[in-house]
Amino acid sequence: MDRDVELPLPAPGEVWTVGAVILNRDGKAFAQRRGPHRRLFPDTWDIVGGHVEAGESLLEALAREVREETGWYLRRVRRFLGAGTWTGDDGAGLRHEADYLVEVEGDLDRPRLEWSKHSAYGWFGPEDLDTLKENRVPGEFLVHDLIARALHDRP
């Protein structure tokens, strides 16, 4: 992890998620499409990530989610992209999220998606960002905005 990367400290009882923006050698960001039968945000584009499990640190959850959702290994956390709160469309209440720009190890041309949860993947550059707004309404462009910021401010 780079020295100046911030790790928020979750308070007791808070529900946290983590997200990873992964860039390829061409400077495009990885996103995967959530399956149409998912309870939370069905049929929308998403970054790699998920819920922090009991007893896990944010960094441990980030590494686990990258491995589970892509088959890649977290190599380096480059930058903290920010933290926010959101309420899903699943009725489970408020969540806190910490998002990071990361580097991974593995074959970026062959992610091992969890096909029971995701239906597609892609690499998105500035010219492709509008695709990330599919099936979202204005004000729900978190993934679009996060990837746009990571692409604009990449190291």
Q: What is the pTM of this model?
A: 0.91
> Which architecture, in CATH terms, is 17-108+117-152?
Alpha-Beta Complex (3.90)
Torsion of CA 22, 51, 33, 63, to 10 degrees: 30
**Domain definitions of the chain by residue range:** 17-108+117-152
**pLDDT digits over 64-111, tens only?**
999 999 999 999 999 999 999 988 777 778 899 999 999 999 999 999
Query: ∠34-130-74 over CA atoms, to 5°?
Result: 50
CA 91 to chain CA centroid, nearest Å: 21
* Gyration radius of the chain over CA positions: 15
Structure tokens at 143: 């993934």
